[in-house]
Amino acid sequence: MGEYAQSKPLPGGVKPAGKLHVADHVPELVEHAVRRGEGLLSARGALAVRTGPYTGRQPKDRFLVEDPAVAGTIDWGAVNQPVDPGQFDLLWHKALTHLAGQPELFDVQAHAGADPVHGVNVRVLTDQAWQALFSRCLFRQGNLPGRPEVNILAAGTCPATIAPCGARSEVFVGLDLAGRRVLILGTLYAGEIKKSIFSFLNWWLPSQEVLPMHCSATMGQAGDTALYFGLSGTGKTTLSADPRRKLIGDDEHGWSPAGIFNFEGGCYAKTINLRPETEPEIHQALGFGSLLENVPLASPSRNPDFSSSAWTENTRGAYPLEHIPGRVPESVGGHPSHVIFLTCDAFGVLPPVAALSPDDALHHFLLGYTAKVAGTEKGVSAPTATFSACFGAPFMPRSPESYASMLRERLKRHGSRVWLVNTGWAGGPASGANAGSRMPLAFTRGIVDAILEDRLNAATLRPDPMFRLSTLVGAPGSGIDPLKLDPRAQWKDPAAYDRAAADLAALFRKAATDKSLTSNG
């Protein structure tokens, strides 16, 4: 290893006791992981690993250092919890000592941000070869000259001390924004590595006149760019993996004065119920050089069982962008013609597609609505509304209004049209006596195609003040069945729909009040 990067001292000049591997080459990382018993190779060569007891992020164990240099820029609260700088330093030293004392240590030197003017260098130190492979997939290769560096200590095998560090469990995820340091203790879930850099960029980039966004992005054959916002499970990755369009990126982007750029060098897709018939590009991407998290392998074939939720519903696949044939190699695009807000409405109330005025777009951006369904999360036994400002509140250190203000300015300047697309249920909720059915992926793809091909621009709209959107009544020439556009008409009992809509609208009003959205359009 070491063709692209060279070994350099650990933070603070600490010397490693064992072997320090500069993690450049994927085959060697895979060999190390298998040799060390960290995972198994699937039939197609993906490295399959388990993350232990933690199979998702631990948002209640995430903290930001309360440094006077940045404290005034942070939206402190349940999401952005403060930790004393001295306590963070104690844990940083604990993690560094732990990692330096391991027989083997893996050093990933990369960067985040396809725009070299706005990118940052990233260094990940971990004692897990598979986490080095994950970082190699998700970040972009090599360092950017003259750019700042963020150091990540991924010490998942080292539990945090409950007292006096401020952690509530053995897990501690801490961000020192001013010091450009990230600390991960007690959890091997690799999504913490990815989202820690996203969180840093979400704080840093607005000061560089860049709007950071939790969205995917694609480019059409004519060079037009589209953005897809949405929370986990709403279809960002799936809908952006479209063979008819080129992929810019599947999850994290910046909107600079020059246009759109991807933060990442890879994709981190949910794989539960993944099938080659419906998501061929993602399925094909999960070969050698990719990673499967908590996906069981059948014996003796070692074929991944993507239908299994035996270990978690949140099964994941990480793969580099190079595994997607139809991608934009530079990972950049122009200003978007269309912006799509994705929601999975498990109550069966929202229409499959609606147009949003600029003011209503800001309203829905600040709400960030979707719904969880039974079985997707421990304790969820019925459809549950979820509101996450900016479609990514857990990763946004600044106030939601600051991001919304930047989005408003860009939508106005570039004339981007905004749409709400519901990938959830029609004809009834996800469960119960009046249960409906999930909208077919092919139907949703047809709607997205119609949007991106400008076949809905002349559609007839009916204002819906209850949800602050405009439902499509008819869309001649769009190829969409007009009978499926009216959500109320899909229910067997219209009165039951009215009750469900009133209940959901009440949740919207409560969320808007809680987030003080009344004055924000």
Q: Kindly name the residue from 21, 32, 194, 236 that is annotated as catalytic.
A: 236
Give the span between the Cα atoms of 284 and 325, in whole angstroms.
Answer: 10
251 is catalytic: yes
Most distant CA atoms of the chain, gap in Å: 70
Give the span between the Cα atoms of 18 and 103, in whole angstroms.
Answer: 4
Helix (H) or strand (E) holding 499: helix 494-514
Q: Kindly name the residue from 195, 327, 410, 455 that is annotated as catalytic.
A: 195
The two structure tokens encoding residue 87: 């306590």
Return phi, psi of residue 485, to 5°. -80, -25
Contacts 24+ apart (CB under 8 A), 513-521: 515/366, 515/367, 515/387, 515/389, 515/400, 517/363, 517/366, 517/367, 520/362, 520/363, 520/366, 520/401, 520/404, 521/358, 521/359, 521/360, 521/362, 521/363, 521/408
214 is catalytic: yes
Q: Kindly name the residue from 57, 94, 253, 327 that is annotated as catalytic.
A: 57
Sequence-ordered list of residues with C-beta below 8 angstroms from that of 308, at least 6 positions apart, any chain: 295, 296, 315
323 is catalytic: no
327 is catalytic: no
316 is catalytic: yes
Whether cis (ω within 30° of 0) applies to the bond prior to 300 is yes
Q: Kindly name the residue from 55, 135, 196, 237 that is annotated as catalytic.
A: 237
Q: Kindly name the residue from 50, 316, 363, 468 that is annotated as catalytic.
A: 316
Give the span between the Cα atoms of 343 and 485, in whole angstroms.
Answer: 16
Q: Kindly name the residue from 32, 214, 246, 270 that is annotated as catalytic.
A: 214
Whether cis (ω within 30° of 0) applies to the bond prior to 164 is yes
The amino acid sitting at 57 is R
| Angle ∠(97,102,104) on CA atoms, nearest 5 | 130
57 is catalytic: yes
Sequence-ordered list of residues with C-beta below 8 angstroms from that of 514, at least 6 positions apart, any chain: none
412 is catalytic: no
Q: Kindly name the residue from 199, 216, 232, 416 that is annotated as catalytic.
A: 232
- Residue 42 three-state SS: coil
The crossing angle, in degrees rounded to 10, of helices 26-35 and 129-138 is: 150
Give the span between the Cα atoms of 366 and 363, in whole angstroms.
Answer: 5
Sequence-ordered list of residues with C-beta below 8 angstroms from that of 413, at least 6 positions apart, any chain: none
Contacts 24+ apart (CB under 8 A), 299-302: 301/43, 302/40, 302/41, 302/42, 302/43, 302/48
Active site residues: 57, 195, 214, 232, 236-237, 251, 316
